[in-house]
Chain A
Amino acid sequence: NAGVTQTPKFQVLKTGQSMTLQCAQDMNHNSMYWYRQDPGMGLRLIYYSASEGTTDKGEVPNGYNVSRLNKREFSLRLESAAPSQTSVYFCASSSRPGFAYNEQFFGPGTRLTVL
């Protein structure tokens, strides 16, 4: 049982390049999330998917797109990377949206640098 996995672990891009961050969970969770973490800013929600087939914007969606490929996988795409997108990206999943015990399980993160 791997939990939440993310690829790649590290990535360096040049401004304007595109890339997709991959996330998968094997806990049969309904909801999945993408966060970015910057020093002093905590965790900010980029996009989330409450259930398979749905996606919604979070606090900082500009410059990103997402795809909920199936129940297991939720990808984050940067179409034209900018230095402001240098950050650590975390994917997370949870079992029951809006349910009382809705703890989130996080992946190990992707450390992205945009030059």
Chain B
Amino acid sequence: GQQVMQIPQYQHVQEGEDFTTYCNSSTTLSNIQWYKQRPGGHPVFLIQLVKSGEVKKQKRLTFQFGEAKKNSSLHITATQTTDVGTYFCASQAGTALIFGKGTTLSVSS
């Protein structure tokens, strides 16, 4: 079935460094969604990308959808301690969403 692979699984950065997580699929995706889960919390929707080559920004976060719609990335510029958590990508499979395993980001000040 459809799967999305996320890398890396873990990333530790110093505050102020940049961070990127990647989401890859062997099949063409209809869309890609990104969620953030703070430690001890629940996943919260960040954004959805639908169009080939789409780029969206939310303050220090930049989301990209690949030209072939088989990969996506989330880039955080100048990380802050508030960015800690696990970032998930998810793709639509009919009514359901298929989630990647997530990238857990830790930030030291």
Residue of B35, B50, B95, B101 near A97 (CB, 8 A) is B95
Say how far B56's CB is from chain A's closest CB, in angstroms: 13
B9-31 at interface with A (beta carbon < 8 Å): 9, 31
Taking the closest CB of chain A, its distance from the CB of B74, in whole angstroms, is: 15
Among B43, B94, B102, chain A packs the most CB atoms within 10 A around the CB of B43
A-side interface residues, number (CB < 8 Å):
28
Interface residues of B in 89-107 (CB under 8 A from A): 90, 92, 94-102
Contact status A43-B88, CB under 8 Å: yes
Q: Which residues of B contact A74 (CB under 8 A)?
A: none
Across-interface contacts of A107 in B (CB, < 8 A): 42
Least Cβ–Cβ distance between A24 and chain B, in angstroms: 15
CB pair B48–A103 under 8 Å, yes or no, is: yes
Interface residues on chain B, size class: 20 to 34
Report A-chain residues with C-beta under 8 Å of the C-beta of B101: 40-42
Docked-complex contact B102 and A33, CB < 8 angstroms: no
A88's closest neighbor in chain B, by CB? B42
Q: How far is the CB of B27 from chain A (nearest CB, A)?
A: 16
B64 CB-CB contact with A under 8 Å = no
Residues of B within 8 A of A53 (CB): none
Contact in complex: A42, B45 (CB < 8 Å)? no
Is B68 in the interface zone, CB < 8 Å from A?
Answer: no
In the bound complex, residues from chain B placing their C-beta under 8 Å from that of A45 are 96-99
Q: In the bound complex, what is the Cα–Cα distance between A42 and B47 (angstroms)?
A: 18
Using Cβ atoms and an 8 Å threshold, which residues of chain B touch A104?
Answer: 33, 35, 43, 45, 97
Q: Which 4 A-B pairs have the closest CB atoms?
A: A42-B101, A97-B95, A103-B45, A106-B42
